[in-house]
Structure 1
Amino acid sequence: MASLMKSLSMTPRWIKRRVLVVLDGVIVAGSLQLATMIHLESLQPPRNTSLWMTIGWLVPISLLFFHWLGLYRVVIRYMSHVTVPTVVIVVVTSALLVAPASYLAGHSIGPSIIVIYALLLLLGIGSLRFLLRELYRHSQRRQRKPVVIYGAGAAGCELVAALRNGGEYEPVAFVDDWRGLEGAMVEGLRVHQPVALAALVQEHQVAMVLLAIPSAPRWRRREILHWLSDLSVPLKTIPGSADVIAGRAKISELREVALEDLLGRESVPAFPELMEANIRDKAVMVTGAGGSIGSELCRQILAQNPVRLLLVDNCEFALYAIEQELKQHIESTQSRCELKPLLISVQHSGSLKAVFESFEVHTVYHAAAYKHVPMVEFNLVQGVSNNVFGTLHLAKAAMAAGVETFVVVSTDKAVRPTNAMGASKRLTELICQAFAYAQSGTRFCMVRFGNVLGSSGSVVPVFRKQIEQGGPIKVTHPDITRYFMTIPEAAQLVIQAGAMGEGGEVFVLDMGEPVRIHDLARNMVRLSGLEVKDAEHPEGDIEIVYSGLRPGEKLFEELLIGHDVSKTRHDRIMTSKERFWEWPRLEAFLQELEQAFIATDHLRIRQLLQSAPLDYHPLDEIADLVWEARQAMLPQTRRQRPGTNATLRAVARLEPVLKPVTKEG
């Protein structure tokens, strides 16, 4: 049967249509003949010549009307209840043709025969098509993967229809936690309670569970996902209701489970007045516009109708990608915003000055930074220089141009940093704090948060790739934890925090509960339908191995330096007052630091960073690759370590400058 249906499905459509026309002709003739037999209460076919003449007229005329009414445009394998009105219309039409056909044949047929004929024809034409559809589906079921759908609501029903019309999956059952549906039949499938899922997986050899609850709150989805992870069955989900309603996705588009469903929280509605305060009808600049946070900032800024959006990035491809995306959005929405892609490094003070002189800018969102901890450790000079002096040049150019608001995107790694990247970002905060109190023309504020899901270098895509390659998953330490937030939520909160600042504040975003990376890796393995390989499960699929903490990496991240924390009008945004140096003192320090960069003096850079109010306590030796290469070329007796007398004497020259008391702010 399967091979026969396969050969039939591969037959040219015009041949299948002609076969269907012939079968319909037989059904029309047989229905009228059978209707007459029922009316006459006879088991013998009537031998009335005029009846056969009526059939001779009725069959071709009916088939012509069937074709004209679109019956043969319906693809049988995709038939659904939507086709029923078409079948009813052609049946009624054919029934109305019986009387004229009998008149042409010189024969009179009573109304009762016509009614019986219509019912038989409806049964025959409808049954033929639905029988052929079911035969086709039955032949396909053996080739499809059985799946269970979690959620028997409207989305689940739509998903069943889409899967049956597809060629890869065959739904075998529904699972829904609403007890009112238990045992009910929906779309021909029985609805089971979640506790029966393990048995269903075993009984039907289920290849995948599909989550069809797009409108469920995130906390509920998270509960379900945690529960399903114990089954070690592959899990996919349909798009969220917002994407479906907006037309950005279809129910049938199966996706990998979004880790924000597993880790995130319910998003808080944005305050429209905060979102538009620094953007609407203003010119806005975003540095690092091609990055994860920068690009999302650009998307959300564009939605607030700025008059001009300046995209600043030193990566050509990243800048091109975001510029093309935003340009398409502007064209589709007929926005009046001017888009200016600028291929500039924030370390080039002259280029920055020229940009501010050429374009009036009201608001700056500074997201450009080297952020990968090991990469900055391996490239200490360039990493710290870009983060610190790039911010310094940008802030000076912004103040000179009269920019109204300057918002810096910071990181939780700036809190009591153990790596150069975190130290550089804390020094960036100090620069903006100093400028905030040294002048009044430009309002500076900093927004600090942790990791974002799906950003470049994030563990989530790395783990997913390692799972696809068969493992192992590499985790640095069994106890390492991190805060996570979705990119859209982080960008939205950055914009709102920037609108609340009066000047010099460090805003801290509520990141929720920290996540143990080992647990994240284990859940990702199980949600992929695999089993973690360990001492208890030596037959498992994916092993989790520990590679050790990388240079400068901490086990636990923090968000606050002190305890002077205040709430804001937004539940997810706090503000913290933290100590800093006033500008004259910080300026002298930065001049010494710049000289160390020019001399590529790694020891002096580290010692200077330790002398500033950064709470910088490096855990490892200097890991800069140039430093290590230089050390390898020196004799053992001449090799230097951080804290040597030469470096301490260099720092001692700063003592007269560093004497003023620090300012608390």
Structure 2
Amino acid sequence: MKKLLLGLPRWAKRFLQLVADITLVCLSLWLAFVARVGFDSVGPYLDQHLWLFAVAPIIAVMVFIPFGMYRAVIRYFNIDALKTITNAISISALLLALAIYWFESLATPVPRSVVFNYWVFSLLTMGGLRWLMRVFLSNSYYLKFKPSKQSYTNLPRVIIYGAGSSGNQLVAALRLSGDILPIAFVDDDSSIYGRTIAGLRVYKPRQLEKVIRRTNATQVLLAIPSASRARRKEVLESLAPYPVHVRTIPGFMDLASGKIKVQDIQDVDIADLLGRDEVEPNRQLFERCIKKQNVMVTGAGGSIGSELCRQILASGALKLVLYEHSEFNLYAIQTELQQLIEDQALSIELIPILGSIRNFRRLKEVMACWQIDTVYHAAAYKHVPLVEMNVVEGIVNNVFGTLNTAQAAIATQVKNFVLISTDKAVRPTNVMGSTKRLAEMTLQALSQEREVVLFDREPKQSYINTTRFTMVRFGNVLGSSGSVIPLFTKQIKDGNCLTVTHPKITRYFMTIPEAAQLVIQAGSMGQGGDVLVLDMGEPVKILDLAQKMIMLTGLSVRNPENPDGDIEIKFTGLRLGEKLYEELLIGDNVTNTQHPKIMRANEDFIDWQTLTEHLGTLNQLARADNCLEIRQQLRKLVEGYQPQGGLVDLVFKNKQDTVNTER
């Protein structure tokens, strides 16, 4: 029967609703007379007022249609629909009262209470029928507090954390889907402990263990979308010891019209484990280098570069140049941004450019063609072990690629240049970190030069330097390429052991959107040659993060104390060039800025003339693939650079092995 009704065409469903309402209007009117004069005396009254049974349905239908009562989908009937029905029936009852008053002189008077009785019975019959049909067309276990074990044994049993409006909507959606069985609420509000909401009892958070044991719940769904990240972190930490899979629903801004759907349920955002509450961006800072300007992002297809492009897109730029070496990455980000432009009807020109930051002429030509005002330089090699095994490429790309981009900006009079740097540039133990610090020093030196003779360019050319250089330094971003979070997620999904390099290793983390927002704002605050450092909060112990990720999926850590656990954590040893602890500052000379999450570091650098001599030497060494001397040169230039272990550049080692073999 249910399949038959659901399979009917839309016009047939509306017709059935119309017939049912006309029948119920007549029934409600008859009951109104019965309630007024009694069942035995109702006959004579009906004979005198049969005309009402023709007028009442006509009035009701004329009111119900404009109120959209025949456009609603019955199986999604909710409190809003009930309000609409109440309003429609109230108006139809008032119009019926006016009709009775108008025709009263032409017929026997109608008792005044009949209209009120008609209103009450109409609400009960029409509202009640729709509610019952909603239950019938969805899942009838809905009304039961304790469903029968025979019917719902195989359904996942879940506890809803949060008994507010989101929790109630989530329960309704779960019951409608029939795939998950909600069994209880847990809430922090002491005023509702022990009460029943939507057929589910509300428990205290400290009763969670007892509830899980009694109900055999396997999941906890967080329905606290408006809670701060700090509060969500507290809740997640309190749930970590229990053998349940913790999932959540998105924030209100991500939900269509505030409605919760089962498909909106997702695994816990790892950002919630960090407890970092993002600061709303300062719009004036945010738009200073973007609004009504031409902007270029190098490395536009990377994790940070692509997020910068998304933020720039919504900030009123006139043109956005996507400069990217990878054809696939460029295609992916161009396609995504073009769709956003069409969906939001944005008036911005998107320019996808294939090019390398090693090509000075290409950079200069592109910046000149589109008269670039601001450059966000995100292109770099960032994977520590890979750069350690490819020393020359790291130097050429990260140091001389940055130099090329900066000199092209000077030559084309770009107003603002923002370098995306890293915490690994502070007292580095690897080539990647030292190249990023050297890139910072290059921009620091350039910012002090009023007139710049371009490095390694023939014929020699000099330009008046009007470009404001800013460097923004921060730690790891969640979800970036090479990040540990996607690796852990995949390992848990595959049921493999989690690999952590060292039990004491710690890292700073922030989300990619927050990092991009802060980079844009920091770039607007630079005065020229500034090294701006983002507040990354407290460092996170990677081992703790791995353990929490395992437990929040409802699994347990396998270790000597728990040999029957689900997933083991193995320690693989520090990778090439990896540090146990990262830092954000070289010295202690740091000052606050107008933004609470951005600091200004005043750090030493080498003047441009001296630096160019060292860069010339480094350039010659790179061309000669002399990796040993490159490391020595980096130690002279970069304060605190202490390489770990021997040289592991793959090409250099192969050449050395070949020479030794020939000997």
TM-score, normalised to structure 2, is 0.83
In structure 2, the partner of 1:367 is 378
In structure 2, the partner of 1:79 is 77
1:71-105 deviations in whole A, cap 9, x for unaligned?
565443222233334377469869959x99xx9xx
Inter-partner Cα distance in structure 2 for 1:486 and 1:303? 18
In structure 2, the partner of 1:651 is none
In structure 2, the partner of 1:319 is 330
Aligned residue among 463, 470, 473 for 2:498: 473
Counterparts of 1:133-144 in structure 2 under 5 Å?
A: 133-139=134-140, 142=151, 144=155
Inter-partner Cα distance in structure 2 for 1:118 and 1:339? 60
Aligned residue among 126, 148, 164 for 1:153: 164
Change (3 A) 1:249 1:306: farther
**Does the aligned pair in 1 maintain the 2:63–2:91 contact within 8 Å?**
no
Counterparts of 1:612-651 in structure 2 under 5 Å?
A: 612-635=637-660
2:414 aligned with 1:403, yes or no?
yes
Change (3 A) 1:264 1:424: farther
The structural deviation recorded for 1:555 is 1.1
SS at 1:635 equivalent? helix
TM-score, normalised to structure 1, is 0.83
Change (3 A) 1:110 1:518: same
2:239 aligned with 1:223, yes or no?
no
Aligned residue among 445, 449, 453 for 1:434: 445
Aligned residue among 436, 440, 464 for 2:489: 464
Greater CA deviation, 38-47 or 224-233? 38-47
2:520 aligned with 1:495, yes or no?
yes
2:539 aligned with 1:538, yes or no?
no
* Cα RMSD (Å): 3.7
The structural deviation recorded for 1:314 is 0.7
The structural deviation recorded for 1:267 is 2.1
**Does the aligned pair in 1 maintain the 2:244–2:552 contact within 8 Å?**
yes
Inter-partner Cα distance in structure 1 for 2:294 and 2:70? 58
Inter-partner Cα distance in structure 1 for 2:282 and 2:419? 20
SS at 1:438 equivalent? coil
Change (3 A) 1:282 1:538: same
Inter-partner Cα distance in structure 2 for 1:332 and 1:181? 43
Inter-partner Cα distance in structure 2 for 1:523 and 1:536? 17
2:446 aligned with 1:447, yes or no?
no
2:134 aligned with 1:123, yes or no?
no
The structural deviation recorded for 1:25 is 7.7
Paired residues, number: 629
In structure 2, the partner of 1:258 is 269
**Structure 2 counterpart of 1:81, which letter?**
I
Inter-partner Cα distance in structure 2 for 1:361 and 1:35? 77
The structural deviation recorded for 1:588 is 2.2
Change (3 A) 1:67 1:511: closer
Change (3 A) 1:200 1:62: farther
Inter-partner Cα distance in structure 2 for 1:393 and 1:309? 20
Inter-partner Cα distance in structure 2 for 1:573 and 1:417? 22
The structural deviation recorded for 1:502 is 2.5
2:199 aligned with 1:201, yes or no?
no
SS at 2:591 equivalent? strand
**Does the aligned pair in 2 maintain the 1:71–1:90 contact within 8 Å?**
no
2:638 aligned with 1:602, yes or no?
no
In structure 1, the partner of 2:589 is 564
Inter-partner Cα distance in structure 2 for 1:21 and 1:402? 72
Aligned residue among 540, 563, 574 for 1:549: 574
Inter-partner Cα distance in structure 2 for 1:559 and 1:89? 64
Sequence identity (%): 48
2:537 aligned with 1:524, yes or no?
no
In structure 1, the partner of 2:405 is 394
**Structure 2 counterpart of 1:127, which letter?**
G
The structural deviation recorded for 1:62 is 9.8
Inter-partner Cα distance in structure 2 for 1:155 and 1:49? 49
**Structure 1 counterpart of 2:505, which letter?**
I
**Does the aligned pair in 1 maintain the 2:252–2:258 contact within 8 Å?**
no
Inter-partner Cα distance in structure 2 for 1:601 and 1:351? 28
SS at 1:231 equivalent? coil
**Structure 1 counterpart of 2:581, which letter?**
F
Greater CA deviation, 131-140 or 144-153? 131-140
**Does the aligned pair in 2 maintain the 1:580–1:613 contact within 8 Å?**
no
1:339-391 deviations in whole A, cap 9, x for unaligned?
32211100011211222332322222211101011121222222221111101
1:298-324 deviations in whole A, cap 9, x for unaligned?
233334323332221111222223233
Change (3 A) 1:477 1:43: farther
**Structure 2 counterpart of 1:86, which letter?**
I
5+ long unaligned stretches in structure 1: 639-665
